[in-house]
Structure 1
Amino acid sequence: MNLQLVRLLHLASPALPVGAFSYSQGLEWAVESGAVTTEAAAQLWIHDALHFALARCEAPALIALLRAWKAGDTAEVARLNAEFISTRETAELRAETLQMGYSLARLLRDLPDTPGTSKTALLDLREIAFPTPWAAAAAHWQIDELEAATAYLWAWLENQVMAAVKLVPLGQTAGQRMLVALAEDLPALATEAQRRADEQDWENFTPGMTLASCQHEIQYTRLFRS
């Protein structure tokens, strides 16, 4: 059995105790406002977030961090970590990546399989974005960067679809239809993320998601933290 595949499935699992299930990244406000009320609208919202936010910013950052961890360049890790945090446009989105990053970094520090150098580097960071410890684990387990980016995108996609199932609400079959349709884009998006990492071409211009996140911060009733 390919142990690297097992480790990658572990990293992408919804059972990873980082609290990803508690965030909707603005989708909850889109439902509350009436912008997303159907399966088709939910699929379009998630599609656009996947293509214009994750593939253009978060996934390239993940690949760059993975390369820095594999090279043992902790100074570059710290720089990339700070740069990624600066791309979070709202208080909720910033708090989300820092909470999940802290939770995953703490988990990795408690696992016996994590190298001491990674543990030390993570401890030295005052604030930790979620892609940073995720990339540290992927680097330690020698996971290919395209496979890592694809799995990272899948984990995000699965969480967003499950949020839509709860919020719209939609049936489980509708959720699975959305996953099947949207997952077809992941290999190409991972390749795009790799190109952007090569060219240091990060882009995070998603005003619709930003406004949704801002509105969610003052939303009266909420199930999700973002």
Structure 2
Amino acid sequence: MSGAMDTKALLRLMAWLSPAFPIGGFAWSGGLERAVEDGLVRNAQGLEDWLSTVLEHGSLWNDAVLFCEAWRQADNQGALSEAAALGLALAGSAERFNETLSLGKAFIAAASAWPHPVFERLPANVPYPVAVGAVAAGHDVACVQAVAAFLHAAVSQSVSAGIRLSVAGQAEGVAITARLETRIEALSLRAASSGLDDLGGAAVQAEIASLRHETQHSRLFRS
């Protein structure tokens, strides 16, 4: 399952990670809204720097590691349960916990339109990267391409949130996505050869922003 994808696998990956896939990803910002409120992200360059840091040193790196672990363990119910529990335990705030759990459950419900025994091996409470990684493996979607698409979708969603928060325009958002492409590719290759011992992060401001968002009065996003 580590080689190139066939057309059917590609079409499924495109569907699962499309903004139109009904998981409610548009409602979450992963703490970005609070970072904008606190002046940590002020413009398009700040948004790109924020996303680069979260990719390399924050929650998206951990998500990539968990995604690849779930991909490798897709046939092992016990290992999937352990990965899911670890993914939920790593959530640094109530909102981040609710975000990954809500997206994970919604993904499983929607992706069940493509039946596969892997759904029976996943626990009821499953974080988003574990859900997508296991289902991708079950449907023979290659690991590197699957996690790259997952990270690209996460970045695209954050760019969209940044546009809604008025720190970047549409053209700037597209340019950010284009510039982060090489970083996403390299990170996907690294994550595919990683293990659970590689979990960890140092994006302290992002974690604090996520915590502070819980008490933010006026907001557009749930995290």
Q: What's the TM-score once normalised by structure 2's chain length?
A: 0.92
1:92 maps to 2:95: yes
Matched with 2:40 is: 35
Secondary structure of the structure 2 residue equivalent to 1:190: helix
Q: CA deviation at 1:46?
A: 1.1
Matched with 1:206 is: 203
Task: Quote the Cα distance in structure 1 between the aligned partners of 2:219 and 2:102.
Answer: 18
Write 1 or 2 for the structure with the bigger share of helix: 1
Query: Unaligned 5+ residue runs, structure 2?
Result: 1-5
Task: Quote the Cα distance in structure 2 between the aligned partners of 1:195 and 1:65.
Answer: 13
- Compared with structure 1, are the counterparts of its residues 47 and 13 closer, same or farther at alpha carbon in structure 2 (3 Å cutoff)? same
Matched with 1:18 is: 23
For residues 144-199 of structure 1, give each alpha carbon's deviation from its aligned partner in whole angstroms, at most 9, with x where no partner exists. 111111001101000011111111342210111111111221110101112322x7
Matched with 2:119 is: 119
Identical pairs, percent: 27
Task: Quote the Cα distance in structure 1 between the aligned partners of 2:197 and 2:167.
Answer: 39
CA contact (8 A) 2:70 2:131 kept: no
1:78 maps to 2:75: no
The 4+ residue runs of structure 1 with deviation greater than 4 A are: none
1:168 maps to 2:166: yes
Matches within 5 A, 1:107-146: 107-109=110-112, 111=113, 113-115=114-116, 117-122=117-122, 125-146=123-144
Number of matched pairs: 218
Return the match for 1:63 from 68, 71, 78.
68
Q: CA deviation at 1:5?
A: 1.3
What is the RMSD of the two structures over their aligned residues, measured on CA atoms?
A: 1.5
Q: CA deviation at 1:78?
A: 0.4
Q: What's the TM-score once normalised by structure 1's chain length?
A: 0.91
Partner letter of residue 185 of structure 2? P
